Amino acid sequence: MHRRRTPNNFTYVSSCVKYMIFLLNFIFWLFGGLLIGVGLYAFVDKWQATGLVKVETVYDVILNISLVMVIAGGVIFIVSFAGCVGALRENTCLLKFYSLCLLIFFLLEMAIAIMGFVFPHTMQSVLEEQFTDKIIHTYREDVDLQNLIDFAQQEFRCCGLTSGGYMDWSKNEYFNCSSPSVERCGVPFSCCMNATDISSGLINIMCGYGAQEFPVAEAAKKVWTSGCIEIVRSWAERNLYTIAGVALGIALSQLFVIYLAKTLEGQIELQKSRWIT
């Protein structure tokens, strides 16, 4: 919308609000483009390496990190672009779309947060039921997912996902005790307490071999035995106030941006009505 100046050069539209919205969304627009680029590069690289990328079900998409990056980047790119253009061109339709998207994101985040804080055990059960078999089964088939699992197991000092802990790896075709693989009855090296040799600095990928053949007390001497979902839930409970503070900060930031968008939208409408009268 091209702003027409009245003789006294007065306008209801605040330049401060307008360019603040533009600058914030321009940064997120660049970030969304970066996510799309990195995600596409990872997706194409994986496709060229394996010759096949499986996307038959919703779980295949959710557990495909490169696709998640592309989708998340695409959403951020589109929404922030609407905010940029809506603010710069003073387009109320784009600003309404932008504020509506932010409100939907805010409500979804609040729903997830409430489920996580109020019903932690229910959330844990849902995650274990819906994702355990799929994640364990696709380990080694998806390099990105494998690296993510190894990172999580090393950082949180856990093994497997459910309350079954290290025995979850019996569901993987490579670590199953009936497998002809040399890794039969074992667990990934990321489950080991001391996977890296201090003197050489090399990772002992065989440190988890045969771990499933031992009872929990014996296996606990060499590998982590607790499932990662339970460990992460316990960690979240110990750091509840910190997580709540960060979540509150993000929520207030989103509400502030929605307020700015609605304020600019109201100012534009007021300026339009002034032109008419």
What are 69-118's pLDDT values in tens digits? 999 999 999 999 999 999 988 888 999 999 999 999 999 988 888 877 76
Q: So what's the pLDDT on residue 11? A: 67
| Lowest-confidence region among 1-15, 41-55, 129-143 | 1-15
- The β-bridge partners of 192 are 223
Name which residue leads in pLDDT, 125 or 15. Answer: 15
**pLDDT tens-place string over residues 34-46:** 999 999 998 888 7
Maximal CA-CA distance, the chain: 87
**Does pTM surpass 0.85?**
no
Checking if the pLDDT of 48 tops 60, the result is yes
Looking at residues 198-215, what average pLDDT do you find?
80
Contact 92, 265 (CB under 8 A): yes
**pLDDT tens-place string over residues 106-154:** 999 888 888 777 667 677 777 777 778 788 888 888 888 888 899 999 9
Q: So what's the pLDDT on residue 274? A: 74
CA distance 224 to 236: 19
Q: For residue 85, count other CB atoms closer than 10 A to its CB.
A: 17
Looking at residues 235-248, what average pLDDT do you find?
87
**pLDDT tens-place string over residues 181-206:** 888 899 999 999 887 765 556 778 88
Residue indicated by tokens 């999580």: 152
CA distance 79 to 94: 9
Looking at residues 257-269, what average pLDDT do you find?
88
Domains of the chain, residue spans = 15-158+227-276
CA distance 22 to 225: 50
Give how far Cα 52 sits from Cα of 40, 55, 177, 230, Å: 15, 10, 28, 33
CA angle (124 as vertex; 242, 167 as ends), nearest 5: 115
Looking at residues 57-76, what average pLDDT do you find?
86
Could you give the percent of the chain with pLDDT greater than 70?
91
**Average pLDDT taken over every residue of the chain:** 84
Q: So what's the pLDDT on residue 65? A: 86
Looking at residues 204-224, what average pLDDT do you find?
88
Return left, alpha or beta for 204; rule: phi > 0 is left, psi -120 to 50 is alpha, else beta: beta
